[in-house]
Structure 1
Amino acid sequence: MKEKGYNAYLTAQKQFDHVADNINLDDATKDLLRQPGKEIHITVPVKMDDGSTKIYRGYRIHHNDARGPAKGGIRFHPDETVDTVRALAMWMTWKCAVVNIPLGGGKGGVICDPREMSLGEQERLCRGYVRELSKNVGPVIDVAAPDVMTNSQHMLWMLDEFETIYGGHYPGAITGKPVGMGGSLGRTEATGYGVVYTLREALKVMGIDIKTTNASIQGFGKVGKYAAKLYQEYGGTVVAVSCWDIEDKKSYTFKNEKGLDINALERISNGFGTINKEKAINELGCEVLEGDEWIKQDVDILMPCALENQLTTETLKHVSKRVKVICEGANGPTTTEADEIIQKKKIFMIPDFLCNAGGVTCSYFEQVQCNTNYYWPLDEVLEKLDRKMTDAFHEVYNLAIKKNLYMRDAAYGIAIKRVADAVKMRGWV
């Protein structure tokens, strides 16, 4: 259940303002960092399979690039808004800073529904998007990646168009590409795995054995699915998973009190994370509930891994008293008002731009591999990812303990200081 009138950008600014005031950030730096540095609004005409032409609206927004080229995914979604993209670009700046990789924050989006487009139409949209943005993106300017309802094939089409325009090979211009075409092993699962790496460390400092815990997860796309798989590998029990049903155009929650078989669920889901209801019931013995039931489960851990604005003052009324940890696999799933309630309930919060930073971290690894034209084996990628996420978690946690801060505020404090230092060293303020 989303909160009516929710604006992700206003939430991002409120979160920033709260911490900026607490760390006494000067007015000029605060004014610079609370808004995007550059916005590009485009229209992309696409020839449809039926011979008609449809015009799609798209965006690419750079929040800040003081620490390195802008970095951020491209979302294809029918409900995309410019304010959502602004917020996500801002969160990308903090995400790159909190895990201390040399990149800035950017984000892109197109208002479309790829689930209702043919592959040919999707390809033409991808290529048109890059043509419109070609002078404002690239390996040393702004590096795109997959996000909601985009994948490695979309990225390869975009890269091919970019390379066609500039007449050379620039594999570092876009990340999240297919393995063998400049992509990195581990990139597909990186965001979800990063969620669980941080969860593992949180449970350690709380003195809880992960094997004794259970969880409910919202989303069965790239983030939720791989978070569920690794959590299950570590011995945790996934009680419920929610997903969007393409045909019914609504979400459902799939539940098994004894634990879901995530690998079996994966086999009966499609590329967009929609789980086949009939097979889930008849073959796997799942209960199928309403989509918002995931948040009402009597579990130890909640993992919102879908879209923003899911944990609100209203939905928190349904959260079990048993919940000990919230892992924000999604970007911006919690409103600022809900944060206050979570703090009072003393639920351990792993904030989004720390929790889900595994994706951009592995994208950075992909850039490094592309630049050297040498690609690492999977175990090396995952070992480096684990170390990076673990180090970032403990840096945030240690600051939170030292200064008695909410984990989100501690993460913001570290990230904002790093970016503020960069803009000051560059002489921008």
Structure 2
Amino acid sequence: MNALAATSRNFRQAARILNLDSKLEKSLLIPFREIKVECTIPKDDGSLVSYIGFRVQHDNARGPMKGGIRYHPEVDPDEVNALAQLMTWKTAVADIPYGGAKGGIGCTPKDLTKIFAHEQTMAWILDEYSKFHGHSPAIVTGKPIDLGGSLGREAATGRGVVYATKALLDEHGKSIKDLTFAIQGFGNVGSWAGRLLHEQGGKVVAVSDITGGVKNPNGLDIPSLLKHKEDTGSLKNFSGGDDMQAEDLLGQECDVLIPCALGGVLNRENAQDVRAKFIIEAANHPTDPEADEILSKKGVIVLPDIYANSGGVTVSYFEWVQNIQGFMWDEEKVNKELKKYMTRAFLNIKNMCQTHNCDLRMGAFTLGVNRVARATMLRGWEA
């Protein structure tokens, strides 16, 4: 099942739980706009190369349609559509005044000579828009600090994952410092989550990324591992742990598994191998519906992506607010507000779980879908 089919299935299940009108349900599922473009650029050798790009604007009932750009050779319309839809429910769960969108370009960034640093890309977008409309810092978020970006934005998604993890563990009478963690994906989100868990006394026992994996049942020294990766470009041959195959990460012995990489990594083939008691979905759509059913039967508690990884878009909202007001916050305030939003959202999800007698994924989906449906009807939608 591809990402769009899985996401739409979760939406329809939430719509049934909420007893939404069938016409409203269909209206909420159909994207507001889909765009496909060809981008032709000159290479360093003078030849031309073309890339296909997609932008899906899913829903704007609650505010401007917000969503990032994915650079990957296998980007396709269904994936971008699914991510745009997930962003609609994610911003609603976080209770920030945005709708959902997503972009994607079918390319391999590492094959290009211009380094695709996230902040640099946002700076280019700001500059291009401002050429025609005057200096407009609020038009895009994730900018460099020098151009109106927010302090705390780089760590925001990983920090939000840790706040979400703490909220879930508190609910079960457990503490980060008493548990073991395995992290799949050690880019921006995974490395920040690992660093912050380590600082709070959590024992990160296994980490993997595209370069390989490393494990230590006594806990990895995350700052040293980050330094090793920076120096060598790889997780392999780290003196503080044993090398492992990256694909073995999902089945590692741990209390909490945090997938931070690609979607669809947990499926019917490997869900049975999971030994963790909790899964925190830091990636977008890492668990397909068949894996969800298997994990549920095993008693594994899954904290869904549309809540768990919403720290990034929440701090993007804070950046937007700062740009509009022309008043910048210090990092302490950014982190304090993020914790407040993440904690409040978890309580709202739990309330929906109790109201509808459902799991955390449906608690999050019913919360998000209900907010978007209410906004749509208040704006004058009629069957």
Q: Tell me the TM-score range normalised by the shorter chain.
A: over 0.9
**Contact kept? 2:213, 2:236, Cα under 8 Å:** no
| 2:124 equivalent to 1:157 | yes
Per the alignment, residue 323 of structure 2 pairs with 370
For residues 3-47 of structure 1, the C-alpha deviation after alignment (integer angstroms, 9 at most, x for no partner) is xxx411111101111111121110111101123111010011111
Cα root mean square deviation, aligned: 1.5
**Contact kept? 2:11, 2:365, Cα under 8 Å:** yes
Distance in 2 (alpha carbons) for counterparts of 1:167 and 1:364: 21
**Contact kept? 1:309, 1:334, Cα under 8 Å:** yes
The residue type equivalent to 1:202 in the other structure is L
For residues 375-395 of structure 1, the C-alpha deviation after alignment (integer angstroms, 9 at most, x for no partner) is 100000000000000100111
Distance in 2 (alpha carbons) for counterparts of 1:102 and 1:334: 27
Per the alignment, residue 373 of structure 2 pairs with 420
**Contact kept? 1:189, 1:223, Cα under 8 Å:** yes
C-alpha displacement at 1:346, in angstroms? Answer: 2.1
For residues 76-113 of structure 1, the C-alpha deviation after alignment (integer angstroms, 9 at most, x for no partner) is 11121111100000000000000100000000010111
Distance in 1 (alpha carbons) for counterparts of 2:3 and 2:117: 20
SS in structure 1 of the partner of residue 51 of structure 2 = strand
SS in structure 1 of the partner of residue 263 of structure 2 = coil
For residues 163-188 of structure 1, the C-alpha deviation after alignment (integer angstroms, 9 at most, x for no partner) is 12x14111111100111211000111
The residue type equivalent to 2:177 in the other structure is K
SS in structure 1 of the partner of residue 150 of structure 2 = coil
2:234 aligns with one of 251, 254, 275: 275
**Contact kept? 1:216, 1:240, Cα under 8 Å:** yes
Matches within 5 A, 1:284-299: 284-299=239-254
Per the alignment, residue 406 of structure 1 pairs with 359
Per the alignment, residue 126 of structure 1 pairs with none
The residue type equivalent to 1:161 in the other structure is E
C-alpha displacement at 1:270, in angstroms? Answer: 4.8
Per the alignment, residue 7 of structure 1 pairs with 2
1:199 aligns with one of 165, 168, 176: 165
| 2:101 equivalent to 1:106 | yes
SS in structure 2 of the partner of residue 302 of structure 1 = strand
SS in structure 2 of the partner of residue 154 of structure 1 = helix
Percent same amino acid at aligned positions? 42
- 5+ unaligned residues in a row in structure 1: which ranges? 1-5, 123-148, 246-251
The residue type equivalent to 2:369 in the other structure is I
Per the alignment, residue 266 of structure 1 pairs with 226
Distance in 2 (alpha carbons) for counterparts of 1:398 and 1:422: 20
**Contact kept? 2:92, 2:372, Cα under 8 Å:** yes
Matches within 5 A, 1:33-72: 33-72=28-67
Distance in 2 (alpha carbons) for counterparts of 1:385 and 1:118: 35
Per the alignment, residue 316 of structure 1 pairs with 271
C-alpha displacement at 1:402, in angstroms? Answer: 4.3
Distance in 1 (alpha carbons) for counterparts of 2:233 and 2:209: 6
SS in structure 2 of the partner of residue 46 of structure 1 = strand
SS in structure 2 of the partner of residue 253 of structure 1 = strand
SS in structure 2 of the partner of residue 51 of structure 1 = coil
Per the alignment, residue 198 of structure 2 pairs with 232
**Contact kept? 2:272, 2:295, Cα under 8 Å:** no
C-alpha displacement at 1:290, in angstroms? Answer: 1.3
Q: How many residues of Structure 1 are paired with residues of Structure 2 in the alignment?
A: 382
C-alpha displacement at 1:150, in angstroms? Answer: 5.3
Per the alignment, residue 26 of structure 2 pairs with 31
The residue type equivalent to 1:162 in the other structure is Y
SS in structure 2 of the partner of residue 169 of structure 1 = coil
**Contact kept? 2:213, 2:245, Cα under 8 Å:** yes
Matches within 5 A, 1:104-183: 104-119=99-114, 151-164=118-131, 166-183=132-149
Distance in 1 (alpha carbons) for counterparts of 2:310 and 2:233: 24
SS in structure 1 of the partner of residue 364 of structure 2 = helix
Per the alignment, residue 280 of structure 2 pairs with 327
1:208 aligns with one of 163, 168, 174: 174
Distance in 1 (alpha carbons) for counterparts of 2:229 and 2:74: 23
The residue type equivalent to 1:359 in the other structure is G
Distance in 2 (alpha carbons) for counterparts of 1:313 and 1:186: 37
Per the alignment, residue 337 of structure 1 pairs with 290
Name segments (4+ residues, structure 1) moved above 6 Å.
none
For residues 180-228 of structure 1, the C-alpha deviation after alignment (integer angstroms, 9 at most, x for no partner) is 2110001111001111101101111101122110010110111111111
Per the alignment, residue 137 of structure 1 pairs with none
Per the alignment, residue 348 of structure 2 pairs with 395
C-alpha displacement at 1:428, in angstroms? Answer: 2.9
The alpha-carbon distance between structure 1 residues 64 and 274, as it changes in their structure 2 partners (threshold 3 A), is farther
The residue type equivalent to 1:203 in the other structure is L
Distance in 2 (alpha carbons) for counterparts of 1:378 and 1:269: 26
**Contact kept? 1:343, 1:406, Cα under 8 Å:** no
Q: Larger deviation: 309-318 or 95-104? A: 309-318
**Contact kept? 2:75, 2:104, Cα under 8 Å:** yes
Distance in 2 (alpha carbons) for counterparts of 1:398 and 1:414: 9
2:214 aligns with one of 249, 254, 257: 254
